[in-house]
Amino acid sequence: MKVIKFGGSSLASATQLKKVLDIVKSDDKRKFVVVSAPGKRSTDDEKVTDMLIQYAEAYLANKEVNKYQEKIINRYADMVQELHLDSSVLTKISDSIKKLCHLDKTHPHRVLDTFKASGEDNNAKLVAAYFSSNGLPATYVNPKQAGLLVSDEPGCANVLDEAYEQLSNLHHIEGTLVIPGFFGYTKKGDICTFSRGGSDITGSIIAAGVHAELYENFTDVDAIYAAHPGIIDEPKKIDVLTFREMRELSYAGFGVFHDEALIPAFKANIPVVIKNTNNPSAPGTNIVASRATNPHESVIGIAGDAGFSSIYISKYLMNREVGFGRHVLAIFESLNLNYEHMPSGIDDISIVLRESQITSELEQILLERLKKELCLDEVKVRHGLSMIVVVGEGMKSRVGIAAKGTCALAKAGINLEMINQGSSEVSIIFGIKKEDEIDAIKALYHAYFNE
């Protein structure tokens, strides 16, 4: 049996839903269908999840909410009408959206998550009704009923190990199952969402829980490309990627598949394929445990992500001071800051972290503590950095990959703030100024794929 996940772009309108039905009907093995909330119908459209966030924020701020409710209900109403579904489907959706503004406001994060989750929950109900009225008997399954237990971390939940055993019982439900993506339930019974784009994670968890033979992730591109298609014109399509390569690339900006969605499928050894709802016969991109590397192809993809800061710390004879690194990290830990990268030299270390974590107040405290407790010679902060990640399993057996990248960046006049090679040798990270990100990706793509 297969798990098939449709992203918001595949469920944005009645036209898209018709394609979805054809895809599911065309293969009997497509039993478990995971759905996102309706996404954008055009580039200037809004995602239902974003509309729900605005609605939640207005409600929490005690503002008028009618216009938000109306806009969201209209998105579903358009689809119900165009698909000729029974009006009772819309009544249920409309009631559930209106009911949200009666939630207890004591825990705003929980309120926000309940609003967000309703986007996929209502869409799953709509999709199940549409399938059933068009010759494909389907049942809506709520994540609570399925046993999708998650940690109590609103907006960034993690699946709990015990969920998998319960999820295997989904096999006992007859017909096609339609499961809303993006959220699960805590042990106390509260809704908790994954991070944004998290319906991919639900699909992967369900695939692991039901021991699927394949996890198919349907989106709006024919394949995963070697670089963001919005930056590089007609980038190279990738046929096969390893889980490790995909994790590095999606972590660093390939929004097409959530980086946290890889782990459940990888651990359960379930291959993943990314396919296009608008062109289902295209082979897509396969994500597998290992692949043969081509001697002529070392780099498989280049991704970039902005929003990083770097804390540079220097102290003469740092290399001889036992426990120095532990002490640095203990200060970060006590301030509840996690770091992303830590390139180091003999007398210095840079700690790279997400900018969104540090306020100017926290930055002041951090710098003072580092200086005082570690007796540093120098500490410097740089904001507004982008990390460009060059990825490929074949890189470790090839000479000159880093040199090619640094040379390309130098030729493009881009100053390198940091360079770091992951210990697995599957990636090299270039830290640059945010404003150089697009030029850097273009220069690196040209060097690795066109020269």
Ligand X SMILES: N[C@@H](CC(=O)OP(=O)(O)O)C(=O)O
Closest distance of CB 37 from ligand X, Å: 4
Binding of ligand ADP by 73 (CB under 6 A): no
In contact, 340 and 354? CB cutoff 8 Å: yes
Applying CB under 6 A, which of residues 13, 16, 36, 217 lies at the interface with ligand X?
36
Binding residue for ligand X (CB under 6 A) from 143, 184, 197, 405?
Answer: 197
List the one residue from 114, 118, 219, 427 that touches ligand ADP (CB under 6 A): 219
Question: What burial letters (b/e) apply to 253-283, b meaning 16+ CB within 10 Å?
Answer: bbebbbbbbbbbbbebebbbbbbbbbebeee
- What single-letter amino acid sits at 74? N
- Nearer Cβ to ligand X (199/310): 199
Q: Are the C-beta atoms of 417 and 381 separated by less than 8 Å?
A: no
Of 197 and 271, which CB lies nearer to ligand X in the complex structure? 197
User: What would the x/- binding string for ligand X be over residues 48 to 87, using CB under 6 A?
Assistant: -x--------------------------------------
Length of the chain: 451
180 touches ligand X by CB under 6 A: no
* β-strand partners of 76: none
Does position 203 bind ligand X by CB under 6 A? no
Give min distance, CB of 378 to ligand ADP, in A. 38
Q: Does 254 bind ligand ADP (CB under 6 A)?
A: yes
User: What tokens appear for 125 in the block?
Assistant: 């109900």
**Binding test (CB under 6 A) with ligand ADP, winner from 2, 4, 10, 286:** 10
User: Is residue 140 part of an annotated ligand binding site?
Assistant: no
Looking at beta carbons only, is 36 or 122 nearer to ligand X?
36
Give CA separation, 164 vs 61, 169, 268, 297, 358, in Å: 38, 9, 10, 38, 36
Which partner in ligand ADP, ligand X, none is near 343 (CB below 5 to 8 A by kind)?
Answer: none
Minimum CB distance to ligand ADP smaller for 39 or for 184: 39
Q: Which does 114 bind (CB under 5 to 8 A by kind): ligand X, ligand ADP, none?
A: none
Structure tokens at 240: 């096969």
Strand pairing report for 176-180 and 138-140: parallel
- The alpha carbons of the chain give a radius of gyration, in whole angstroms, of 24
Nearest to 255 by CA among 303, 222, 209: 303
196 binds, among ligand X, ligand ADP, none (CB under 5 to 8 A by kind): ligand X
- Assess contact for 287 and 246: CB atoms under 8 A: yes
Does the protein bind ligand X through residue 275 (CB under 6 A)? no
Can you tell me the distance from the alpha carbon of 180 to that of 358, in angstroms, rounded to the nearest whole number?
34
> Which CB atom, from 131 or from 194, has the smaller least distance to ligand X?
194
381 contact partners, CB below 8 Å, separation of at least 6: 309, 310, 311, 312, 363, 367
Scanning 4-12, 133-141, 412-420, 430-438 for contacts with ligand ADP by CB under 6 A, the matching segment is 4-12
Measured from the CB atom, is 48 or 401 closer to ligand X? 48
199 near ligand X, rule: CB under 6 A: yes
Compare residues 117 and 313 and give the one whose CB is closer to ligand X.
117
* 93 touching ligand X, by CB under 6 A: no
Nearer to ligand ADP, 125 or 228 (CB): 228
Q: Does 304 bind ligand ADP (CB under 6 A)?
A: no
Q: Does 119 bind ligand ADP (CB under 6 A)?
A: no
Which region, judged by CB under 6 A, interacts with ligand ADP, from 120-128, 146-154, 252-260, 383-391?
252-260
Give the residues lining the site for ligand ADP (CB under 6 A): 7-10, 36, 39, 197, 219-221, 224-225, 228-230, 254-256
List, as residue ranges, the binding site: 5-8, 49, 120, 219-220, 225
List, as residue ranges, the binding site for substrate: 49, 120
